[in-house]
């Protein structure tokens, strides 16, 4: 086994053991180590000689592998597994003749943000998670594991994390320190000062572009000039209170605030930097998913393009001077989730959102509130998209007198027919 790989695996547990997920096959011959959203390490053991049955027994006791440690011996390798179960933490060991290691880097711009998390701050949540993944990737694998776009974004990632820490500090305790140890994993004051200096370089780009930039710059400069506030006493009561609050914290920067642009710029740049990496969330390999993907690519997307939508799978946007329409597709093993909506761009929040992010980059999640349909077959997908397109055509006819009489009925006739039926039913119920 290459010493480089051994050092990486041993370093993982000493650095980010809470951020990894370790699983194994039924023979203990393969260990999969998931590193956040940015990488997977596959560790293959050859000719296991000791303790296989004992380790299997321990793992099957509703236990969780939380850490691996590898040591080289003359006749092979000793793999120590640190295990948690409901009652205790302990370790067991395996001995094998040799190991192979494969590393797969993922596109970590595809991180999932749940609807429960999203509180008008989708890009903030996304950018913070992306920044953590980028900085962890750099910490574990070094600069050489990053492409040139990622390397150029390291200082931006540092700014994203420091912005988050600054807001944590303001929300919970004005007298608390700015604790970046959790991310940078270093108690060296000079290392943390360097991170602040990197953040300062990036925020200066936004001076004059967003109104909060000057205030953020002054806060960063304050910590640069007050290193004790930066480091703090990590054992005091305020420290423990802050650390408890961090895990439940929802960032309070919303899409209609100008500072949101820093987060959206970063998330878009990360997406561009990750294009050479494979997506962890591939289209499922079921017959349903394969057939539906073909249907969307060859039938649905051409219709969207014909009706003025821009973008590429899975998200498409239409925008004119008054409204923005957006639709996206998520193919799952046995269904398709379609997210869609339309917004008036003259409302304060949407107008602010469009100032913070180019409309071509917008996703339904950026709206926070949007419509969702779960479709179980191609007919349901076609019906959902057809209704969405019909609504757009009705809007165009009313606003711009753009309409094709050969496709569907005139919009004012359709609306009149619906209104007449409602009034007739109301009159009938009243007479009864």
| 326-368 pLDDT, tens digit each | 999 999 999 999 999 999 999 988 998 999 999 999 999 998 8
pLDDT tens, residue by residue, 227-259: 666 545 444 444 444 444 433 333 456 677 888
Average pLDDT of the chain is: 80
Higher pLDDT: 163 or 64? It is 163
Cβ-proximal residues to 306 (8 Å cutoff; 6+ apart), any chain: none
According to the model, what pLDDT value does residue 428 have? Answer: 42
Q: Measure the CA angle with vertex 138, ends 132 and 140; round to 5°.
A: 100
150, with CB counted inside 10 A (0-12, 13-18, 19+), is buried
According to the model, what pLDDT value does residue 2 have? Answer: 74
Q: CA-based Rg of the chain, rounded to a whole angstrom?
A: 27
* Residue 57 in this model has a pLDDT that exceeds 60: yes
pLDDT tens, residue by residue, 380-414: 999 999 999 999 988 888 877 665 544 434 444 44
Percent of the residues in the chain that have a pLDDT greater than 90, as a whole number? 37
Terminus-to-terminus CA distance in the chain, angstroms? 85
According to the model, what pLDDT value does residue 171 have? Answer: 47
Percent of the residues in the chain that have a pLDDT greater than 70, as a whole number? 77
């Amino acid at each position: 086994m290459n010493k480089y790989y051994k050092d990486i695996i041993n370093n993982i547990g000493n650095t980010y053991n809470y951020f990894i997920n370790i699983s194994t096959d039924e023979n203990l011959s393969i260990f999969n180590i998931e590193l956040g959203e940015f990488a997977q390490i596959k560790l293959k053991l050859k000719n296991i000689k000791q303790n296989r049955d004992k380790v299997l027994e321990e793992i099957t006791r509703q236990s969780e592998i939380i850490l691996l440690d590898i040591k080289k011996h003359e006749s092979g390798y000793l793999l120590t597994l640190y295990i948690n179960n409901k009652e205790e933490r302990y370790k067991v060991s395996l001995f094998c003749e040799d190991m192979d290691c494969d590393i797969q880097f993922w596109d970590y711009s595809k991180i999932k943000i749940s609807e429960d998390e999203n509180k008008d701050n989708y890009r903030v949540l996304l950018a913070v998670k992306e920044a953590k993944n980028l900085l962890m990737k750099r910490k574990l694998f070094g600069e050489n594991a990053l492409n040139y776009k990622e390397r150029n974004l390291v200082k931006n990632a540092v700014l994203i994390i420091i912005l988050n820490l600054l807001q944590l500090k303001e929300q919970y305790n004005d007298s608390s320190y700015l604790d970046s140890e959790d991310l940078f994993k270093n108690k060296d004051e000079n290392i943390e000062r360097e991170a602040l200096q990197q953040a300062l370089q990036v925020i200066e780009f936004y001076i004059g572009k967003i109104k909060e930039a000057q205030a953020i710059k002054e806060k960063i400069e304050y910590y640069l000039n007050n290193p004790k506030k930066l480091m703090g006493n990590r054992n005091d009561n305020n420290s423990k209170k802050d650390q408890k609050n961090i895990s439940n914290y929802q960032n309070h920067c919303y899409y209609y605030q100008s500072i949101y642009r820093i987060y959206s710029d970063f998330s878009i740049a990360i997406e561009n930097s990750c294009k050479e990496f494979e997506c962890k969330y591939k289209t499922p390999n079921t017959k349903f998913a394969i057939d539906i993907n073909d249907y969307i690519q060859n039938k649905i997307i051409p219709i969207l393009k014909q009706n003025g939508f821009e973008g590429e799978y899975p998200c498409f946007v239409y925008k004119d001077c008054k409204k923005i329409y957006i639709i996206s597709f998520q193919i799952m093993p046995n269904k398709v989730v379609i997210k869609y909506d339309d917004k008036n761009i003259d409302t304060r929040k949407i107008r602010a959102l469009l100032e913070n992010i180019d409309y071509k980059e917008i996703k339904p999640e950026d709206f926070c509130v949007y419509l969702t349909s779960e479709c179980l077959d191609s007919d349901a997908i076609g019906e959902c998209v057809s209704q969405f397109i019909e609504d757009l055509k009705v809007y165009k006819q009313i606003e711009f007198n753009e309409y094709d009489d050969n496709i569907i009925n005139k919009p004012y006739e359709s609306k009149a027919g619906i209104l007449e039926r409602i009034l007739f039913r109301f009159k009938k119920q009243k007479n009864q």
